[in-house]
Amino acid sequence: MLASLPAKDFERLLPELELVEMPLGWTMSESGDHVNYLHFPTSGIVSLIYSLEDGSSSETALVGNEGLVGISIFMGGESMPSSTEVQSAGYAYRLSRKVMKSEFALGGQLQHVALLFTQALIAQTSQTAVCNQHHSLDQKMCRWLLMTLDRSEDNELMVTQEMIGNLLGVRRESVTQVLGQFQKDQLIERARGRITVINREKIEKRVCECYSVVREEYERLLPGKRGSKKS
């Protein structure tokens, strides 16, 4: 997103950008928090997570280097009902609320791409809700793996089965069963805290239409960004 800015816009922002580490499991903001910084991930993945009163939770969207974290800063809501948590460690450039609001008010390219990304994020969130309601765990797992791979540097994911269960809102035992079948079908290889995808093509044939719907929307709105990467 930053790379798509005109040189003069990027040069104006550069002194205000701070490169920060995003460690695995870092909760960048809790539900209802007043968000003070916008983050542009350069690597790693951030999950948007909704939690219920009974302690259960579910991921509604993920963000990689195709986008930004902290849309409430420029959308006017000041806070979000979801929390943001680092699913895959990496780095991000952060920009203060004050600077982003001033830049957004200029109506330039940063405002344009930020709004396009927000539209893509809404599409992802909406499709995830439909998928969670209507598709099998096998299909949801395929969707999640592919969307995570699109935002990863390689085919190896550092994630536990318990983490996947929390993100998909299902029991860990169910995740273990599905991943076991994936391994038997030679889609993945598993090790403790690690999943390696060895046959993406087979996963793409197995996934529900929700993956392609979201991917095509990202390609339309944010061409060339990581979130729309094809195999």
Task: Kindly give the parts of the chain with pLDDT less than 70.
Answer: 224-231
Given this model, what pLDDT does residue 130 score? 94
Given this model, what pLDDT does residue 31 score? 87
Given this model, what pLDDT does residue 229 score? 47
Average pLDDT of the chain to the nearest whole number: 92
What is the arrangement of strands in the sheet containing 156-157, beginning at the earlier edge strand? 156-157, 194-197, 188-191
Q: What is the CATH number of domain 132-228?
A: 1.10.10.10
Given this model, what pLDDT does residue 226 score? 46
Q: What would the pLDDT profile of 154-197 be if each residue is shown by its tens digit?
A: 899 999 999 999 999 899 999 999 999 999 999 999 998 899 99
Given this model, what pLDDT does residue 205 score? 96
Given this model, what pLDDT does residue 98 score? 95
From CA 80, how far away is CA 32, in angstroms rounded? 5
* Domain boundaries of the chain, sorted by first residue: 2-107, 132-228
Q: What is the CATH number of domain 2-107?
A: 2.60.120.10
List Cα–Cα distances, 212 to 10, 64, 112, in angstroms: 32, 17, 24
* Closest-CA residue to 122 (of 43, 214, 47, 35): 214
Given this model, what pLDDT does residue 225 score? 54
Q: What is the DSSP string of the chain?
A: -GGGS-HHHHHHHGGG-EEEEE-TT-EEE-TT----EEEEESSSEEEEEEE-TTS-EEEEEEE-TTS-B-THHHHS-SS-SSEEEEEE-EEEEEEEHHHHHHHHHTTSHHHHHHHHHHHHHHHHHHHHHHHHHHS-HHHHHHHHHHHHHTTSSSSEE---HHHHHHHHTS-HHHHHHHHHHHHHTTSEEEETTEEEES-HHHHHHHS-HHHHHHHHHHHHHSTT-GGG---
Given this model, what pLDDT does residue 79 score? 75
